[in-house]
Amino acid sequence: ENLVRHFAVGRAGLLGPRLTVKAVDDVSFSIRKGEVLGIVGESGCGKSSVAKAILNIHSPSAGRVRLRGTDLTTLSAAAWREMRRKIQYVFQDPLNSLDPRIRILEQVIEPLTIHRIGDRRARAEKASGMLAAVGLGPAHHRKFPHELSGGQQQRVVLARALVLEPEIVICDEPISALDVSIQAQVVQLLQKLRAELGLTILFISHDLSIVRFLCDRVAVMYLGRIVEFAATGELFDRPRHPYTEALIAAIPIPVPGARTDRTLLEGEPPSPIHLPTGCRFNPRCRRAIALCRQTEPALLDAADAHFTACHLAHEGTG
C-alpha cells in the first residue's frame, strides 16, 4: 500500500543537495491467494525494487506491506526470520542462490534445517519429494550445482523455495538468464507446480509473452509507478495505456509474413532522478495532449477493475 522506495545518489556539495531516485513511487496492489500476479516493464522501471521492498532486502521509504493481517514493515529482525519461511523468492541467476560446495539434495534440505522443520529423515524425504516435483530424480541428488544445466539449477532453486511451503513466492526474472529453449520448460514447470500446489506467485518480468501465459492479472510499471493494472486477457486484448499498447506491439510475432506495422516504443525512459512534469510517459507518448505535460494522471478504474493512469482513458476517448 502506497509503497515508496527512494534512494539518495551523489553527494551534497556546491552543486546542491543530494539527488533522489524515485525507484518506487507510490505503488499499491494486492495479490489474492492462489493467484499469479505479473509485474512488467522495461529495466529500471522499479519492478525489482518492489520485490526487494516486499522482502525487506531494501526497506521501504514509506508505505506498508501486509501479509494477511501482519504489517511486514514494522517486524523485528526475529519476526522477519520466521516470516522468511512464508515469503520465498527466486531471482534471475540460479548460481547466486546455490552454494557450489553443497550437493543438490542437501541444498533443498538446508532451508528445512534452518527453520527446524521435521527430523533428519523427514527433511530428506520432503526435499527429495520436492526435487521430484521439479523433475529432478535421485540420480541428481548427489550432484553439485556446477554439474547441472542452467535450467536444472533453477529447478533446484525453485525446490529450495517451495520446500518450505511458502504463502507467496516472488520470482524476479526467474528465467531471463536461461537459454530460450530452457525458458519454456521452466515456465511450464511453474504452471504445473502452481496447479498442483496452489502457489501464490508475484512474477516479475520484462517478457510479455511469458507474463501473458502465466499470470492471472498484470501490473505494468513505468518509472516507479503502476500505469495499468488489469486481468491478463483484458490487458492484452484491450490495453488502455499508450505505454502498454507500445509494449504489446513490440512483442515479436513468431509468424512469418506477419504484419510489421507495429507501434514501437521510441527512446529510453527518462531518468528517474529528473522526472518529467505531468504524466511521466509524456516525452515518449504519441498521444500526449497539453494536459499531459501539466498534470500527472492518477491510477483510476477506467472500466470494471481495469485500472489506468492516463488522462485519455479517463475521458473515455482513449
Q: Considering only the stretches 60-68, 70-78, 100-108, 283-291, report the one whose residues sit in contact with ligand SF4 under the rule CB under 6 A.
A: 283-291
**Residue span binding ligand SF4 (CB under 6 A) among the ranges 77-85, 180-188, 228-236, 287-295:** 287-295
> Which residues, at least 6 apart from 127, have a Cβ–Cβ distance to it below 8 Å?
105, 108, 109, 112, 159, 163
Residue closer to Mg ion, measured from CB, 48 or 183:
48
List strand residue ranges (DSSP E) for 175-243, in order: 201-205, 217-222, 225-231
Q: Is 105 in the site for ligand SF4 (CB under 6 A)?
A: no
Cα gap 310→289, rounded to integer Å:
11
The CA distance from 194 to 186, in Å, is: 12
The residue within the footprint of ligand SF4, chosen from 54, 136, 235, 310 (CB under 6 A), is 310
Is 46 among the residues that bind ligand SF4 (CB under 6 A)? Answer: no
- Verify binding: residue 269, ligand SF4, rule CB under 6 A: no
C-alpha cell at 58: 531494501
Could you write out the DSSP letters of every residue in 95-119?
Answer: HHHS-TTS-HHHHHHHHHHHTT-S-
Is 48 near Mg ion (CB under 5 A)?
A: yes
Among 47-55, 98-106, 159-167, 216-224, which window interacts with Mg ion (CB under 5 A)? 47-55
Q: Which of 36, 297, 299, 307 binds ligand SF4 (CB under 6 A)?
A: 297
Whole-angstrom distance, CA of residue 226 vs CA of residue 2: 11
**Among 52, 63, 10, 2, CA closest to 271:** 10
Q: Residue 48 binds which one of ligand SF4, Mg ion, none, with CB within 5 to 8 A depending on kind?
A: Mg ion
Element (H, E) at 162: helix 150-162
Q: 228 near 309, Cβ under 8 Å?
A: yes
Taking CB under 6 A as the criterion, the residue among 246, 279, 299, 302 binding ligand SF4 is: 279
| # binding residues, Mg ion (CB under 5 A) | 1
Beta carbon nearer to ligand SF4, 178 or 279? 279
**Residue found under cell 529423515:** 121
53 or 220, CB closer to ligand SF4?
220
Binders of ligand SF4 in range 210-249 (CB under 6 A): 241-242
List, in order, residues 6 or more apart from 63 with CB less than 8 Å away: 1, 2, 3, 4, 26, 27, 28, 53, 73
For residue 287, state whether it binds ligand SF4 (rule: CB under 6 A): yes
Binding site for ligand SF4 (CB under 6 A): 241-242, 279, 281-282, 285, 287-288, 292, 297, 310-312
Binding site for Mg ion (CB under 5 A): 48
